Amino acid sequence: MEASEQIINAIKSAGKPIKSSDISEMAGINKKDVDKIIKKLTIEGKVFSPVRCYYDIKK
């Protein structure tokens, strides 16, 4: 599974907006890598930040 898919699945399984450190723990990916991938996913329109430093899936 690709890292971006793991991140999306981690956010979906949380069921609410979560911090990148929590995503990192759930997906088993280094936090710095999570931050880079989240930035990319945000640009692609797959993820958004409803509150500063928290991320959720666009529905």
Look up residue 1 and give its DSSP letter. -
Q: What residue numbers bound the domain in which 19 lies?
A: 3-57
Q: Where are the alpha helices (DSSP H) in the chain?
A: 3-14, 20-27, 31-44
Taking residues 11-19, what's their average pLDDT? 95
The residues, any chain, with a CB within 8 Å of residue 41's CB and separated by 6 or more, are 4, 7, 8, 47
Question: So what's the pLDDT on residue 58?
Answer: 87
Number of domains in the chain: 1
Hunting for tokens 């995503």 — which residue is that? 23
Question: So what's the pLDDT on residue 1?
Answer: 75
Banded model confidence at residue 10, pLDDT cuts 50, 70, 90:
very high
Q: pLDDT digits over 17-59, tens only?
A: 999 999 999 999 999 999 999 999 999 999 999 999 999 998 7
CATH number assigned to the domain comprising residue 21 = 1.10.10.10
